[in-house]
Amino acid sequence: MDDFNTEEEQIAALKKWWKEYASSILMGVGVSLALIFGWQAYQQKQIDDKSSASIMYKQLITAVTAKDAETDGAETISFLASELKEKFIDTEYAIYASLFIAKESVQNKDLDTAITELNWVLANSDDSRIKHIVTGRLARILSSQDKNEEALAMLVATDTAFEGDYLEIIGDIKNRSGDKIGAIESYTKAFSMVKDSPQSQPLLAVKLSDLGVNPDTL
């Protein structure tokens, strides 16, 4: 403004500048406010969704653990599980609901439903740990249906923390299918990974002993 000689010239220049740039400035302010309020609304929706999903998940557990064999009870369980998976898919409760239904389905010997639920979790979870756990469970179910090749093909651990678990499952599948040598090989590899983990040793040791291998020599 120092380049203008009079106050009138300064005011005129300011008006001209405002006329040229006002819309851009106001638009920028509007966008910034929209982003701020939009983010706040998104965060609040996430909080509200988690709260609603948590309540619905508790209702699901209550309905299942009530052991109500009536038709209405079964319909309630199915409805709550579907609602959680459809409306709250971005929350962990949708995953928990699917895992819970899968577990109940296995106990009720409804393996097809359990497989459907576990596959849904694999398709909708980004948690590597959950995916590895679910894959192991799914492989065991498939093996119980004599789908051993399909089950074995799934058991490729991309996380070293699950290599021992997968090797044990592979050993179980091979042992059940009559491949004693393959079972011993898998159990031995698994045992070598958990020798320093007392809580994981006993069952593997028993499995090896049953196949004629002394775990103390490994």
Q: Give the Å distances, CA to CA, from 109 to 103, 105, 133, 166, 210.
A: 10, 6, 20, 23, 28
Within a 10 A sphere around the Cβ of 2, how many other Cβ atoms?
5
Range of weakest confidence among 43-47, 88-92, 120-124, 153-157: 43-47
Region of 212 please: left (phi>0), alpha (psi -120 to 50) or beta: left
Q: Which residues of 3-27 are buried (b: 16+ CB within 10 A; e: fewer)?
A: eeeeeeeeeeeeeeeeeeeeeeeee
Residue 201: which H helix or E strand, with range? Answer: helix 201-210
pLDDT of residue 53: 78
Is pLDDT at 135 greater than 60 in this prediction? yes
**Neighbour-count burial for 118-151, b at 16+ CB within 10 Å, e otherwise:** bebbeeebeeeebbbbbbbbbbebbbeeeebeeb
Give Cβ neighbours of residue 176 (< 8 Å, ≥ 6 apart). 143, 148
pLDDT higher than 70, residue 111 = yes
pLDDT band at 1 (very low <50, low <70, confident <90, very high): very low
Tens digits of per-residue pLDDT, 80-98? 888 888 888 888 888 988 9
User: pTM for the full model?
Assistant: 0.71
- Cα–Cα dist 168/200, whole Å: 11
